[in-house]
Amino acid sequence: MIYRYDFRYTLAKIPVNTALRLYFKKLVFIGKKENVSKKRAIIFAPNHRNALIDALMLVFSSYHLKQIVFLARADIFRKSFVAWLLRGMRIMPVFRIRDGKDNLDKNNEIFDNAARILRKNNPLALFPEAKHNPKQSLLPIQKAVPRIVLPTEASVDFQLQSQIVPVAIYYRDITGFLSDAYITFGTPIEVSDYRDIYKENPVLAINQLRQELENRLKSMVVNIWNDAFYNEYCHAIDWNGDRIAREKFSERKDDFLQASLYIVKKLDELYEDNRTEFDQKTAGFREAHALLKEHGLTSKDRLWKPSSGWNLFARFMALILSAPIAFLGFLNGIFPILINKKLSGLFKDKQFIPSARYAAGLFFVPIFDLIQSLIVGAVTKDWLLALGYFILMPLTFYFALYWRKWLKTTLRDSKVLRFKKQFPDIWKRVLGLIRL
């Protein structure tokens, strides 16, 4: 049964966790010790922005718990080998209307299995939005979580003492390599609080629990609900996030997340209370964005903190001196790079790109490291050299990826400095327009 121990999950967890640490520059978990019980039946209810990576975040953070069982959309189970692998990683399919009306009845069995998992005191995870959303916003919360947990609790007269833990997952750059990620575990919802309501009116209890979960997630997630000004909100975070994080939240590990929440809240308040000022501010954001675009810059460029000429010179020299190591790393990792490009091209949605990149690093780097090391040993007859290559191949490849990101950042910073020197008046005007 899926709620029993599975060796595939344990074998996968170590490389999965290691690869996540290497994939992100900064990985911050908040509220795990305070809000995640080891002794209670738990349903994790996270927002869903980044395909497979979101699920892996929970796997990584829950090393102290039993093996988590996930519920995921059924269409990813179509291939038999993939289905075997997913079930080994403790993932069960959930059928949606788009999977065909005839399949919806299969959810009854899935929900029964989920109830058995909770009774075994195993953690369960379900994305309550029911689909991924790459935007910095929260989709309407569906009823799947209360539909599972309330009947389960009712079957044992609410003695299970289960909890729903809302989880907010935030990526500073959802498609960027070596970016920052923040995972916040919110205050648990006590399902037993709905005992009396459920006994009187199950439908009302389900709706109220769904609404409470949605309210909790809205208070935790960076939720840009105003689609008409979505880009302006995002640019405001890009331009002001670091400064506000430093000025107001420097003592917190989730400083940039808190800064982003602060910016969205402040703009929301302006929209509700002072529409004139809000319109002026967003018009300024649009003007600044247009000026930057005209000069080949974006909201991601660090306009407020241009690097000095000496700093850029030192960075370029370091890049030049380390280029041979980077070249060796790219050469060693050429096959994983090509496979990653092929995998990424299979998806139209950008949020699958990080998952494809992660999968290429997790599976194909070790595979080609072993193959290439065996080739080195067979050709040179020096197996000590082959062992050295086996160790150095992933190290040089990872350095090459870091070097490429370092190069891109340095080139962007040099462009900002040129912009400041060549167009000082425009630069100052932009700084005035982007400040919140």
Give the whole-angstrom CA distance, residue 187 versus residue 33.
11
Contact predicate 116/148, CB 8 Å:
no
Torsional sign, CA 195, 196, 202, 204:
negative
Please answer whether residues 10 and 163 qualify as being in contact, where contact means their C-beta atoms are separated by less than 8 angstroms. no
Rounded distance, CA 71 to CA 99, Å?
A: 15
Pairing of strands 180-185, 26-30: parallel
Q: How confident is the model at residue 155 (pLDDT cuts 50, 70, 90)?
A: confident
Q: Is the pTM of this model over 0.85?
A: yes
Annotate 256-299 with DSSP letters as a single string: HHHHHHHHHHHHHHHHHH-HHHHHHHHHHHHHHHHHHHHTT--T
Mention every residue, 6+ apart, whose C-beta is less than 8 A from residue 257: 28, 170, 182, 184, 222
Residues 6+ apart with CB under 8 A from 188: 35, 37, 40, 42, 163, 164, 165
268-273: long-range contacts, CB 8 A cutoff, minimum separation 24 = 268/226, 271/226, 271/229
Amino acid at 137: S
Where are the extended beta strands (E) located within 311-354? none
Please give the pLDDT value at position 37.
85
Could you tell me which of 186, 263, 278, 256 has the C-alpha nearest to residue 223?
A: 263
Whole-number pLDDT of residue 10: 66
Residue-wise burial string across 351-380, b where 16 or more C-beta atoms lie within 10 A, e elsewhere: bbbbbbbbbbbbebbbebbeebbeebbeee
Q: Which residue has the higher pLDDT, 12 or 415?
A: 415
3-state secondary structure of 69: strand
Sequence-separated contacts (24+) of 425-429 with Cβ below 8 Å: 426/291, 426/295, 427/303, 429/291
Backbone angles phi, psi at 69, to 5 degrees: -105, 130
CA atoms within 13 A on the CB side of 260: 25
d(CA 335, CA 399): 16
Instruction: Using the predicted structure, report yes or no on whether residue 74 has a pLDDT greater than 90.
Output: no
Cα separation of 12 and 15, whole Å?
A: 6
pLDDT at 57: 85
- Write out pLDDT tens, residues 174-186: 888 888 999 999 9
CA–CA separation, 204 and 33 (whole Å): 32
How far is residue 153 CA from its own chain's centroid?
31
pLDDT at 54: 86
Nearest to 127 by CA among 228, 4, 217: 217
* Beta bridge partner(s), residue 44: 125, 165
- The pLDDT of 349-363, averaged and rounded, is 75
pLDDT digits (tens, 9 = 90+) for 371-429: 999 999 999 999 999 999 999 999 999 999 999 999 999 999 999 999 999 999 999 99
Token readout for 255 is: 């400083």
In this prediction, residues 144-165 reach a mean pLDDT of: 88
pLDDT at 187: 94
207-254: per-residue pLDDT in tens? 999 999 999 999 999 999 989 999 999 999 999 999 999 999 999 999
| Residue in 149, 257, 287 with CA at minimum distance from that of residue 205 | 149
CA distances from 270 to 219, 275, 423 (A): 18, 6, 32
As beta bridge partners, residue 165 has 44
Question: Which tokens hold the place of 195?
Answer: 């005992």
Q: Is the pLDDT of residue 103 over 90?
A: no
- Joined together, the tokens standing for residue 381 give 């007859």
